[in-house]
């Protein structure tokens, strides 16, 4: 993917040595340009124009001259100094620190070939490492998900831009730091293990495989919900030396899911539960309790809608729902659809007392409707069905039985309630 033109400058190096180096072919993706100089003065004339380069210094220049040259040289990562010398033990430490390598002289054909090929491999390894690091950065930084690499102690070794944006810190500030500092936790929160994710890290290390978690973190923008994927990193011997994590911020998704769930659970007109939520509620709360289902249906609702319009019909439904909530605060109330409602009472209820309560409520509704000129044609009918803890009746069966009782009330002249009994299954259903 990359190509590297390597400039190799020699100063005071035997011409035979230079020719032998020229004969050694470059490695893949590399090309060589040789520049030969006799003195430092001639080198300095072109040095400013050179980029990345290898500078090979011969001992014929004299060690004092080499030391002075290296002391004056401006340190640069682009320049790699190599000194060809028989004995470098007398060189100052500062001088040695400016050298990339030392080639022992005299240089034989074999030793020169060894030194030069080792140099080539070092440079290629550096370039390949740079390429891999660039690939990694260009892969993880544009991604919207958080990505991080940690050591076994929990120190963050590398993160992507999305991670920095989440914690509002730079990569340099995050480097080597732990969760406590990066996420801005208080001492109390950290000691309690709140929002620290330490347990999940240990779980990944214990299992030695990728694990998926739902985690909460405390960010600069408040609490965030994350779906995290954590994977162990192994060394050459198969030992875990750290973890890599990827986290998708699902805070908004969870909020949207909750909104959708609430919309599915709540009728938008009346604020009551929906039919779907009614069944979920009974399933989750029935345990070993008695269940009483009361099926309500408005009488003559279609005539009111057709005569006065849907706005009046909606007002009648909303008012009916409000009065139900006042009367049955001890129950679960649902709008099944249209002008149909269901009240569920959990726990032991005497059927006679329940019937009396329903009749009183029907009378109260009739009084309310009569006070509204547009609703005077309305009344309401009800059907009651019960089951005890020993019954194997399903929810659907219980709703069906209360529906059959409701139709019996309709056939009896409306504005009344009836209690289910099995004989209702053999008679006609009548008309709403």
Q: How far apart are alpha carbons 15 and 104 in whole angstroms?
A: 17
**431 within a domain of the structure (yes/no):** no
**Same domain, yes or no: 184 and 125:** no
Question: What confidence score (pLDDT) does residue 217 get?
Answer: 81
**Same domain, yes or no: 233 and 272:** no
**Same domain, yes or no: 197 and 150:** yes
Checking if the pLDDT of 417 tops 60, the result is: yes
341-354 mean pLDDT? 93
**261 within a domain of the structure (yes/no):** no
pLDDT mean across residues, the chain:
89
**108 within a domain of the structure (yes/no):** yes
* Number of other residues whose CB lies within 10 A of the CB of residue 64: 8
At residue 224 the predicted structure's pLDDT band, cuts being 50, 70 and 90, is confident
Domain of 113, in residue numbers = 4-139
pLDDT digits (tens, 9 = 90+) for 229-267: 999 999 999 999 999 999 999 888 877 877 777 777 889
Nearby residues of 244 by Cβ (< 8 Å), 6 or more positions away: 147, 148, 149, 150, 230, 231, 233
391-403 mean pLDDT? 86
pLDDT digits (tens, 9 = 90+) for 197-209: 678 888 999 999 9
**Same domain, yes or no: 67 and 207:** no
Nearby residues of 96 by Cβ (< 8 Å), 6 or more positions away: 88
Checking if the pLDDT of 355 tops 60, the result is: yes
Checking if the pLDDT of 86 tops 70, the result is: yes
**Same domain, yes or no: 273 and 419:** yes
331-346 mean pLDDT? 94
Residue 386 pairs in a beta bridge with 292
Query: Which of 254, 281, 316 marks a domain boundary?
Result: 254
Residues 230, 243 contacting (CB under 8 angstroms): yes
Question: Could you tell me the CATH number of the domain that includes residue 313?
Answer: 3.30.70.270
Question: What confidence score (pLDDT) does residue 239 get?
Answer: 95
Question: What confidence score (pLDDT) does residue 382 get?
Answer: 97
Checking if the pLDDT of 94 tops 70, the result is: yes
Checking if the pLDDT of 48 tops 60, the result is: no
Checking if the pLDDT of 430 tops 80, the result is: no
**Same domain, yes or no: 272 and 367:** yes
pLDDT digits (tens, 9 = 90+) for 134-163: 999 999 999 999 999 999 988 999 999 999
pLDDT digits (tens, 9 = 90+) for 302-329: 999 999 999 999 999 999 999 999 999 9
Question: What confidence score (pLDDT) does residue 198 get?
Answer: 75
At residue 216 the predicted structure's pLDDT band, cuts being 50, 70 and 90, is confident
Tell me which of 76-90, 102-116, 178-192 is least confident: 178-192
Query: Which of 254, 277, 306 marks a domain boundary?
Result: 254
The number of folded domains in the chain is 3
**Same domain, yes or no: 74 and 124:** yes
**Same domain, yes or no: 290 and 419:** yes
**Same domain, yes or no: 170 and 23:** no
Q: How far apart are alpha carbons 367 and 374 in whole angstroms?
A: 13
Q: How far apart are alpha carbons 14 and 58 in whole angstroms?
A: 8
Q: Residue by residue, what is the 3-state secondary structure of the chain? A: CCCEEEEEEEECCCHHHHHHHHHCCCCCCEEEEEEEECCHHHHHHHHCCCCCEEEEEEHHHCHHHHHHHHHHCCCCCCEEEEEEECCCCCCCHHHHHCCCEEEECCCCHHHHHHHHHHHHHHHHHHHHHHHHHHHHHHHHCCCCCEEEEEECCCCEEEECHHHHHHHCCCHHHHCCCCHHHHCCCCHHHHHHCCCCCHHHHHHHHHHCCCEEEEEEEEECCEEEEEEEEEEEEECCCCCEEEEEEEEEECHHHHHHHHHHHHHHHECCCCCCECHHHHHHHHHHHCCCCCEEEEEEEEECHHHHHHHHCHHHHHHHHHHHHHHHHHHCCCCEEEEEECCEEEEEEECCCCHHHHHHHHHHHHHHHHHHHHHCHHHCCCEEEEEEEEECCCCCCCHHHHHHHHHHHHHHHHHCCCCCEEECCHHHHHCCCCCC
**152 within a domain of the structure (yes/no):** yes
Question: Could you tell me the CATH number of the domain that includes residue 118?
Answer: 3.40.50.2300
Query: Which of 194, 226, 254 marks a domain boundary?
Result: 254
Q: What is the pTM of this model?
A: 0.63
Question: Could you tell me the CATH number of the domain that includes residue 172?
Answer: 3.30.450.20
Question: What confidence score (pLDDT) does residue 196 get?
Answer: 53
**Same domain, yes or no: 130 and 223:** no
368-388 mean pLDDT? 93
Q: How far apart are alpha carbons 167 and 12 in whole angstroms?
A: 55
**Same domain, yes or no: 13 and 128:** yes
Question: HSE (CB half, 13 Å, CA atoms) of 11?
Answer: 23
Residues 243, 148 contacting (CB under 8 angstroms): no
């Amino acid at each position: 993917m990359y190509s590297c033109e390597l400039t190799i400058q020699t100063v005071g190096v035997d011409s035979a040595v230079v020719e032998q180096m020229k004969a050694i072919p470059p490695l893949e993706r590399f090309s060589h340009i040789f520049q030969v100089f006799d003195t430092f003065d001639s080198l300095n004339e072109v040095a400013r124009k050179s980029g990345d380069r290898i500078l090979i210094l011969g001992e014929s220049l004299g060690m004092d001259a080499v030391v002075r040259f290296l002391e004056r040289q401006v340190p640069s990562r682009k320049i790699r100094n190599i000194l060809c010398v028989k004995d470098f033990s007398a060189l100052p430490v500062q001088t040695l620190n400016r050298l990339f390598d030392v080639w022992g002289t005299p240089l034989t054909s074999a030793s020169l070939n060894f030194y030069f090929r080792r140099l080539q491999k070092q440079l290629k390894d550096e370039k390949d490492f740079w390429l891999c690091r660039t690939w990694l950065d260009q892969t993880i930084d544009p991604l919207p998900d958080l990505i991080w690499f940690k050591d076994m102690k929990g120190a963050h070794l590398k993160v992507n831009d999305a991670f920095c944006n989440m914690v509002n810190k730079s990569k340099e500030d995050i480097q080597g730091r732990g969760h406590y500092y990066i996420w801005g936790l208080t001492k109390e929160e950290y000691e309690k293990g709140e929002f620290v994710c330490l347990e999940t890290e240990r779980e990944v290390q214990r299992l030695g495989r990728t694990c998926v978690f739902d985690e909460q973190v405390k960010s600069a923008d408040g609490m965030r919900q994350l779906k995290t994927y954590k994977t162990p990193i192994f060394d050459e011997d198969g030992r875990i030396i750290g973890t890599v994590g990827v986290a998708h911020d699902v805070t908004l998704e969870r909020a949207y899911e909750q909104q959708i769930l609430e919309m599915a659970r709540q009728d938008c007109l009346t604020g009551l539960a929906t039919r779907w939520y009614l069944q979920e509620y009974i399933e989750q709360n029935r345990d070993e309790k008695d269940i009483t289902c009361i099926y309500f249906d408005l009488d003559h609702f279609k005539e009111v809608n057709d005569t006065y319009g849907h706005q009046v019909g909606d007002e009648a439904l909303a008012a009916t729902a409000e009065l139900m909530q006042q009367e049955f605060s001890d129950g679960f109330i649902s709008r099944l659809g249209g002008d149909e409602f269901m009240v569920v009472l959990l726990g032991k209820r005497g059927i006679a007392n329940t019937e009396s309560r329903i009749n009183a409520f029907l009378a109260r509704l009739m009084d309310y409707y009569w006070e509204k000129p547009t609703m005077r044609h309305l009344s309401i009918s009800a059907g009651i069905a019960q089951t005890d803890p020993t019954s194997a009746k399903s929810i659907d069966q219980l709703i069906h039985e209360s529906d059959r009782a409701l139709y019996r009330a309709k056939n009896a002249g409306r504005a009344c309630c009836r209690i289910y009994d099995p004989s209702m299954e053999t008679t006609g259903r009548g008309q709403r």
